[in-house]
Amino acid sequence: MTVSSLSELLLAFERNWPTVSESVARGNIKMLKSFLGPAYKGLILRSHKGVDSTLMTAEQTVHYDWKYMREFPAMAKLYEAAKSGQWNANDGTLDWSHAFDPLDQVNHIIPDMYCPGVVLPQWGKLTERQKAEHRQALLSWMLSQILHGEQGALYGAAQVLQSVPWLDGKLFGSTQVVDEARHIEVFHRYLDEKIQRKYEINENLYVLSEALVADSRWDVKFLGMQIMIEGFALGAFTMIRGVVNEPLLRDIMKYVVADEARHVNYGVLALQRFYATELNEKERAEREDLAFEISLLLQRRFLIHEMYEEYWGNYFTIKEWNKFASESQLMTFFRKSMFRLMIPNLKRLGLLSERIRPKYAEMGILDFETGRAMSDMTSDEILAVPL
């Protein structure tokens, strides 16, 4: 639902003022300015709600290569792996015939401990059917955000392959476009046929998606999509696969993780070379700030405002809910699962300087820097990382 009255506008400010005020408090006005348009549309007007489609303006430089030089061996190797790693969601690779009830009151689709309301006194007053609806809603919300993120990744990959300056990178980028299309197909089908409900895109994910699509710098799109969003998604996929009680979804996640691991490796290879040779210190600091702001937006993505509005809005103010959700078991688990795979990649790219480290420490995620970078791990190793 878009904002259509003063009262709705004031409520939108109440919901999202922390996002703006914290950027001002950090003195990061330049970064705030780059997100201002998407933030106004996504956080305040909520113009992506209740509509069938959204138009965004995108621009980027197209880099033609007339020499067709294959001079990036590591990227060429990744391209070969991508060609041999293709799979089809509809040819029998996945068993769609498996039947399950997302509202099963005995074999829970997801453990109650991850439902954000389970520790609240109101939870005990719910019927078993209502609790099952909460479990269905939570999994639907998580998979819906993954679906929307995959659409953004599809557009980002299509943009970046036009601008990346290496032919090997363009060739690999074409395989990512196919991968992302397949992910949209498989998650949409699963939500439609198995979970039987979907959620609209979360406001923070919308802001991030539009900001990255609109940015004309290919390396910024790459940093946001390949390192931050894809890295964050990898953590989400492994977490969901580890806790969900449904064989088909577990199989889907196994195949998707193999694709996403290649995508993150692609980002690390490209940006490592580019940042080492093409950026000055001021430009590097700007990318460092951008990565941190994206980390905050991704973290807020899991405050689950959509479920607050649907189930808990009569019990708490949005401020009370934000505090509760940020300290919940679900949020703690998400933070561990997703940032543990992302932070080592930022370190590999040189985006964890002494200047920015205290900010990540305040978020409670700096300790993950000692983990292995995803670019050094196979998909099986990523799946095997303890939850």
Model pLDDT for residues 131-177, shown as the tens digit of each residue: 999 999 999 999 999 999 999 999 999 999 999 999 999 999 999 99
pLDDT given at position 1: 47
Let me know: does 111 contact 304? Beta carbons within 8 Å: no
Over the range 166-192, which residues count as b (16 or more CB within 10 Å of their CB) and which as e? Answer: bbbbbbbbebbbebbbbbbebbbebbe
Average pLDDT of 265-270?
Answer: 93
How large a percentage of the chain has pLDDT more than 70? 90
User: What is the DSSP secondary-structure string of 55-124?
Assistant: -----------SS-----HHHHHHHHHHHHT---TTTTSS-TT----TT-SSS-SS-GGGSTTTTSGGGG
Distance separating alpha carbons of residues 196 and 102, to the nearest angstrom: 8
Average pLDDT of 61-73?
Answer: 95
User: Where residue 9 falls among pLDDT bands split at 50, 70, 90?
Assistant: very low
Is 70 exceeded by the pLDDT of residue 83?
Answer: yes
Average pLDDT of 84-100?
Answer: 94
pLDDT given at position 26: 53
pLDDT given at position 65: 94
Is 60 exceeded by the pLDDT of residue 120?
Answer: yes
Residues 149, 279, 74: CA angle, nearest 5 degrees = 65
- Convert the pLDDT of each residue in 178-205 to its tens digit: 999 999 999 999 999 999 999 999 888 8
Provide the whole-model pTM: 0.88
Chain mean pLDDT for the chain: 87
Count of residues making up the chain: 387
Is 50 exceeded by the pLDDT of residue 4?
Answer: no
Is 60 exceeded by the pLDDT of residue 23?
Answer: no
Higher pLDDT, residue 200 or 382? 200
**Domains of the chain in sequence order:** 70-384 (1.10.620.20)
Closest to 190 in 3D by CA, of 156, 239, 154, 240: 240
Is 60 exceeded by the pLDDT of residue 293?
Answer: yes
Is 80 exceeded by the pLDDT of residue 85?
Answer: yes
In this structure, which amino acid lies at residue 158? A
